[in-house]
Structure 1
């Protein structure tokens, strides 16, 4: 399988000789109408009907007790970590194979990231690797799960559903329950993905979703916190809206909060996009099946959803035979106007996280050196 053959296949799929992006937003519904309504109403900032409507629709879609819209996905994850009790000096376990925003949110809490390997099944946090790491480095005390050497508290585990493929949630939740550590799901990429019939982001105490311009639906910039309980949801809404106590005219804030409110203008776009989510997922899954068939008898391995899950296939990915094949594919497709990308550099290779504690990362390193993302905009909608 040569890069030229892959390039020709992608061009045939998209029926164009023009530049093919990795993932472009699609606007084919009520986007303009709803955004115009918002402008006409003058309620373009953090107050307006579309914010409430967007949160309600997300609750209906995911089954979460409360959804709280935020200005972006990193803000959503930051708020979720705060609500899960993460504080300065705590340890938060996540995967090194993730986008930097996952670790940035932990850093902004004043906490320290700990890296554990991913599963080759899901490309997300591996429950077995997590349990082995904790058995070696943690002890249970009255104060919680504590690092044996540093005495720091393991306060949260943050699995990331890579490219929309759900992690092994049953096993992961069992490990975290055994060690009494909160789970905060980084579901930034997995809107429309289900684990055994339940939506991602609803298994942990909190989940965070992103609506950046390259996600399966977009609000331009935006995120949402999915909350396990209505009580936690009410508090999350409170702290993300500056912790202002309702009053006809007085300004009183009863705790230090965040100004993370999603503007009504963005929520209007999101409401229109949500109306088309089912169609987007259907078309993206159809595209993924075409890629899967194309790579079936080659030395490239297309990344498929785990057997237990239904993935949104946010970004299609292929595992190349080796790093040389990966580099050649990236170089030749991009030079030919077909946008492909490697997976992120492992987080411990970045200067701000190079000293973070970590376990064996063999799977992460293997995937990092071989994986390439392929164009993933739904075919029938461009």
Structure 2
């Protein structure tokens, strides 16, 4: 079974060399646009490509506005600040995620509460979220959600769209509305993914994207805040060191962050965004081919949830058990085909080991079984 999978992957990528999990591909205007920024000397946080990248990304996602940042983690940090997260608050999130989700919570001095995921989405479960809140939270006289045990404020809910597959957004929106909790979407992995025809990252108060080197499109490093005009204006102010506009004076009216995306990175992003639809079509075709290759095997290929269109950022399979997972990882990597396990659950990491958790049955089950397969775009196209 593993040999058939390896042969398929090598045939797809047309090489006997090492195959990475997800490498960037530059086959458009990347060199031209980057050269343009160098010629202009505007390579830092001011320049036409930053404005263009924000405008084009807002148009692509259907967000009222987009604000570019140096990376997705910075965007998450600012997003949580913008919904009022502060020291001592609690943020509801999932344990099955990349560590950046939780690190952004920690940057605010807040603490995560880990809620289980659904197997159908790999993302935060509305049913588990509602159950935990019913048992552990209450709304005070001001409509603020608080913990029953210590009256701490539960400020926000931060689901992550795992591997580009959208979470159950209708369910999450409903629960968050009932409990007066701000919904912030970690859409770092799901650029180009839609839920019932609407782009991920546009259902909550704020959404966050990432353009790391291993994402569907890349700026080398970069992120984006998606929000309405009022919140986005605050985001831009905070990420530009909270500097008030002035012809020559340096006036900063609050603690801000040097989080703006450099123009040279934005140039790369503009060129990549021009190719995004083609990239996603190729990735979805690869997912279909994986599904056919694995049909009838012991490995279960993870497909997009009903009513969703996934970008299939990382293709993944569910193994029968931990032993099969470890064997698959050993054999593929030993043959020069890069595969990776899903992340270790966040509540197992030392800095989050004391965080509150709900029942994590699905998260534990998936942690033991999920393996990511090579998912990058072919250098020379279809």
Matched, 1:108 2:107: yes
Task: Quote the residue 1:359 is aligned against.
Answer: 358
Task: Quote the residue 2:241 is aligned against.
Answer: 242
Task: Quote the residue 1:191 is aligned against.
Answer: 191
Task: Quote the residue 1:324 is aligned against.
Answer: 323
2:195 and 2:252 map into 1 onto residues whose CA distance is: 39
Task: Quote the residue 2:175 is aligned against.
Answer: 175
CA shift for structure 1 position 66: 1.2
Which structure 2 residue ranges, 5 or more long, are not aligned? none
2:327 and 2:148 map into 1 onto residues whose CA distance is: 45
1:194 and 1:142 map into 2 onto residues whose CA distance is: 37
Task: Quote the residue 1:53 is aligned against.
Answer: 52
CA shift for structure 1 position 378: 2.1
TM-score, normalized by length of structure 1?
0.98
1:353 and 1:204 map into 2 onto residues whose CA distance is: 25
CA shift for structure 1 position 309: 0.4
Task: Quote the residue 1:82 is aligned against.
Answer: 81
Output one character per residue of 1:98-148: Cα deviation in whole Å (capped at 9) or x when no partner: 000000000010000000000111100000000000001001113400000
CA shift for structure 1 position 235: 1.1
Output one character per residue of 1:312-331: Cα deviation in whole Å (capped at 9) or x when no partner: 00000000111111000000
Output one character per residue of 1:285-321: Cα deviation in whole Å (capped at 9) or x when no partner: 0000000111111121100001110000000000011
Q: For the Cα contact (< 8 Å) 1:280–1:378, is it kept in 2?
A: yes
TM-score, normalized by length of structure 2?
0.98
Q: For the Cα contact (< 8 Å) 1:3–1:328, is it kept in 2?
A: no
Task: Quote the residue 1:161 is aligned against.
Answer: 161
Q: For the Cα contact (< 8 Å) 2:24–2:377, is it kept in 1?
A: no
1:321 and 1:8 map into 2 onto residues whose CA distance is: 21
Q: For the Cα contact (< 8 Å) 2:70–2:260, is it kept in 1?
A: yes
2:297 and 2:330 map into 1 onto residues whose CA distance is: 20
Task: Quote the residue 1:142 is aligned against.
Answer: 141
Pairing 1:342-357 to 2, within 5 Å after superposition? 342-357=341-356
Structure 2 SS opposite 1:381: coil
Structure 2 SS opposite 1:288: helix
Task: Quote the residue 2:203 is aligned against.
Answer: 203
Which structure 1 residue ranges, 5 or more long, are not aligned? none
CA shift for structure 1 position 357: 0.1
Pairing 1:286-297 to 2, within 5 Å after superposition? 286-297=285-296
Structure 1 SS opposite 2:139: strand
2:373 and 2:100 map into 1 onto residues whose CA distance is: 22
Q: CA RMSD in A?
A: 0.9
Output one character per residue of 1:171-218: Cα deviation in whole Å (capped at 9) or x when no partner: 110000000000000000000000111100000000110000000000
1:119 and 1:16 map into 2 onto residues whose CA distance is: 36
1:5 and 1:378 map into 2 onto residues whose CA distance is: 21
Q: For the Cα contact (< 8 Å) 2:347–2:353, is it kept in 1?
A: yes
Matched, 1:271 2:284: no
Task: Quote the residue 2:231 is aligned against.
Answer: 232
Q: For the Cα contact (< 8 Å) 1:211–1:220, is it kept in 2?
A: yes
Output one character per residue of 1:312-366: Cα deviation in whole Å (capped at 9) or x when no partner: 0000000011111100000010010000000000001100000100000010011
CA shift for structure 1 position 381: 2.8
2:295 and 2:183 map into 1 onto residues whose CA distance is: 36
Task: Quote the residue 1:310 is aligned against.
Answer: 309
